[in-house]
Structure 1
Amino acid sequence: MTRYYFDVRDGDTLAIDEEGMELRDLAAAQAEAAESFADVVRDVARDMAKNGGVIRMAIEVRDDKGDLLQVGYTFRNRRLD
């Protein structure tokens, strides 16, 4: 098993995952990142509905050897009146 780290990028800020999670392979890490990211997006979307604006976020996955993948999005909320 490999230890994967899931760092969260919010705009220019990067929150480093110090603990990580042991998973069987990169496919399992990608699935975990996507599932975690869906939770983050849902929470941010609720706040954006109230405030409007643009948010850029990503989960960056790495192992002890370096960066492996990034799951990200840009969320824009604006009224069209």
Structure 2
Amino acid sequence: MPIGKVKWFNNAKGYGFILPEGSDEDLFAHYSSIQMDGYKTLKAGQDVSFDILQGPKGLHAINITATEPAVSKPTADTENTSQEVETLYSET
């Protein structure tokens, strides 16, 4: 099964592109081809494995599986230390 990295993925539109390892040709990736439970999405830079299918307009990645879970960086709004959280709860 080939591997590659997600080049970009638009959650609102439900598609993006994957760059296979050792290739310069992008593969179309549709959310319906992502193999995961829950909300099906990919993150730019995420490592994935997939199968390749020749579609009418080019190559498609199918059976897309993340090789490791996507990690979201916390934003300034969500970065709280355990001490800050404890203080918030003890003040109420």
| TM-score normalised by length of structure 2 | 0.29
Q: Which structure is higher in helix share?
A: 1
User: If each structure's strand is expressed as a fraction of its own residues, which one has the higher value?
Assistant: 1
TM-score (norm 1): 0.32
